[in-house]
Each structure stands twice: as structure tokens, then as C-alpha cells.
Amino acid sequence: MTNTVYGEVYMRVSSFFAGIGGFDLGFERAGMNIVFQCEIDSFCQQILKRHWPHIPLHDDIKTLNSSTIPTSDLWCAGWPCQDLSTANTDRRGLAGERSGLFFTFMGLVKEIHPTWLVMENVPGLLSAEKGSALETVADTLEENGYLGGWVSCNAVHAGLPHNRDRVFFVASFRSERAYHFFTDSSELSGDTSSRKSSKTKVRSSFRQVTLGDNPLVVQRRGGFGYTMAKSVCPTLRAQTGGHQGGHSDRPILCGEKLDVDRMGEAYGVSSRMDGRRGRLLGNAVIPTISEWIGKRILEIERFNNNG
């Protein structure tokens, strides 16, 4: 399905549960073309329309007809994690209304069978339903003709100053393409240049001056916690408790409330940061990671076309 012009591979991407476009941005940076998006959150839609104004955008995957999806080589999906996350004490796994949208997505996949699937979710998927949720995802992929695997990637490995571990599935339809993604990539087991440089660059002078050797105090659901982690801040997480007012986790420096302006001077954090934006950033796919995945897939496609 991919087009090859003068030795270059052009891949079209349809993005489901697109959020604020983390997958989309990374794949574009890798050299792919976004041709379709699906996202139900109205604020996310505004962001997508701003950055991809000419791309068709559908709001609800449950009302999406497969015939309206443009021809695509790769489908990506960071499907909802609420019923899989360990932060949810009453998680229902893939039987939950939100995380169960995985099956809605796969219903569309079954009708079209794009060459590649790239999916993302939280590490809680690995333990949900006593481990059977992961087996269900793998079985469903296999039943629909997809072979591949999964890899855990953390934001800190991409050179970002916080922990955000996520599980990525990469699968190909009735081919060994995805097999080569895992077996031929030395980067899966080695430090990237961005990760190496991050060990000395992130949270440099600001953290040393403000915090010294004291623990970082972190506001979390139901109270406060402490971490001695060096050069790492916690994942931005949505709050569900009424007393929290729906705000995301915020580090509290030396017992003080977070001063966004001061953080902005040190890290480039926008003064417009608030709980809503924090939630969207915390849920977003890291573009650097999706860019790496996209480049690896394009390398495999070039090899197949030239072989």
C-alpha cells in the first residue's frame, strides 16, 4: 500500500484516540503523512484543528464508519487507559466502558486491515485482570491477522525530565514486518543519545539551587508523597477527587505552591499551564518515542521495497 518515489517511502497514517496529537507529531517528524484523526475531547479537537487544519477529524469512534477512513498504511491508537490504570482502584480492565473501546477500534481494523498497527497504553495493562488483559489484546491482534510485539518506553528515556512509562504495541498484517522491528533494532537495548545527554542537562541549576538534597514533595490524590529521584519530576496525572478540583499533580517546591512563572523561566513551561492542560500533556504520547517508532517502520518498508 505504501508509495515509493525515487527510493523514498511515503506512508499514510490514520490516528485514533488522537488526543493532542503526540502520535501524529512524532510520525510526521519521522516522515509520514497524517490523513485522518478521531478524537472525542472538544479541547483536544481544538488543538488538532489548529495544527492539522486540513485533516478530516471525526469525533466519536463509536459512530465512525470504516468507509469514511481514508486509505492508510498505518493506524495508531492510544486507547483510553482509565479501566487499566493502577491509579484506578476499581479498574474493570478491557471490560470497562472506556478501555473497552479497544474492541471498537479492532472492529474497524477487522474491516480494513491496514498494513501496520501501533498502539499505546499504560503499564497497568500488563497486570489488569490478573494478566489476562494483555493476553486478550495479543489474542485479538492475532485473530485478526496481526503479528508483532510490545515494548515499554519511558519518557525519561527520550530525554524528558519526568517518569511516564507506557507500553507500545507494534504489529503488521500477515507479514514479518513487525518481527523485524523487534529483532533488528539495537536501539531497543541501548541508551539513545538524548537519554545520555538528559542525565546531565535536565533540571540542572534550578533543581540544585531550589531543592538541594531535600526530597521533592509531590501533591497526589489523597495527600502528599516524597521522592529522592534525581533530575526527574513525576508524571502529570488527572485528579478525580472532588476536593482536588480536577487539577493535575503539581510538585511543591520547599513547601511552597508551584510558581508557574518561575518554572517557566527555568524550563520553558507556559504560563497558561493549568489542570486541564496538565491532564492532556500527561495523557499524551511522547512525540520523540513515536518518531523513533515511525523511523524504524520506514526503514523496514524501505528494505522490503528494495529487497
C-alpha cell at 102: 479497544
Contact predicate 27/34, CB 8 Å: yes
Q: How many domains does the chain divide into?
A: 2
In which band, very low, low, confident or very high, does the pLDDT at 140 lie, cut at 50, 70 and 90? Answer: very high
Q: Provide the pLDDT for residue 60.
A: 97
The pLDDT assigned to 133 comes to 93
Give the chain's mean pLDDT: 77
76-135 pLDDT, tens per residue?
999 999 899 887 778 899 999 999 999 999 999 999 999 999 999 999 999 999 889 999
CB 25 within 8 A of CB 285: no
Domain containing residue 40: 3-195+285-306
Residue whose C-alpha cell is 526503514: 299
Q: Both 138 and 215 in a single domain? A: no
Q: Give the pLDDT confidence score for residue 235 in this predicted structure.
A: 54
Least confident of 212-216, 291-295, 296-300: 212-216
CB 119 within 8 A of CB 101: no
Q: Which pLDDT score, from 0 to 100, does residue 185 have?
A: 54
**Model pLDDT, residue 8:** 72
139 lies in the same domain as 274: no
Q: Do 263 and 120 belong to one domain? A: no
pLDDT for 303 equals: 87
Residues 215 and 274 both lie in one domain = yes
By CB atoms closer than 10 A (0-12, 13-18, 19+), residue 99 is buried
Query: In the prediction, which pLDDT does 282 show?
Result: 67
What's the chain's Rg over C-alpha atoms? 20
299/166 same-domain check: yes
Do 143 and 214 belong together in one domain? no
What CATH code is carried by the domain that includes residue 42?
A: 3.40.50.150
Helix H, strand E, coil C: the string for the chain is: CCEEECCEEECEEEEECCCCCHHHHHHHHHCCEEEEEECCCHHHHHHHHHHCCCCCEECCHHHCCHHHCCCCCEEEECCCCCCCCCCCCCCCHHHCCCCCHHHHHHHHHHHHCCCEEEEEECHHHHCHHHHHHHHHHHHHHHHCCEEEEEEEEEHHHHCCCECCEEEEEEEEECCCHHHHHHHCCHHHHCCCHHHHHHHHHCCCHHHHHHCCCCCEEEEECCEEEEECCCCCECCCCCCCCHHHCCCCCCEEECCECCCHHHHHHHHCCCCCCCHHHHHHHHHCCCHHHHHHHHHHHHHHHHHHHHC
Examine the domain organization and report whether 120 and 74 are in the same domain. yes
CB atoms within 10 A of CB 183: 10
Same-domain status, 127 and 175: yes
Portion of the chain with pLDDT greater than 90, in percent: 50
**Cα distance between the two ends of the chain:** 16
The CA distance from 35 to 26, in Å, is 14
266 with 300, same domain: the answer is: no
Are both 15 and 148 inside the same structural domain? yes
pLDDT at 183: 80
**Does residue 288 carry a pLDDT above 80?**
yes
Residues 20 and 168 in one domain: yes
Per residue in 145-168, pLDDT (tens digit) is 999 999 888 888 787 777 788 999
Q: Which of 7-11, 13-17, 188-192, 226-230 has the lowest mean pLDDT?
A: 188-192
Residue 219: pLDDT band (50, 70, 90) is: very low
Between 70 and 225, residue with greater pLDDT: 70
Q: Which residue has the higher pLDDT, 77 or 183?
A: 77
Average pLDDT score over residue span 271-290:
74
Which pLDDT score, from 0 to 100, does residue 214 have?
A: 52
Which pLDDT belongs to residue 187?
Answer: 52
- pLDDT tens, residue by residue, 17-76: 999 999 999 999 999 999 999 999 998 999 999 999 999 999 999 999 999 999 999 999
User: What is the predicted pLDDT for the residue at 271?
Assistant: 59
Q: Does 183 lie in the same domain as 144?
A: yes
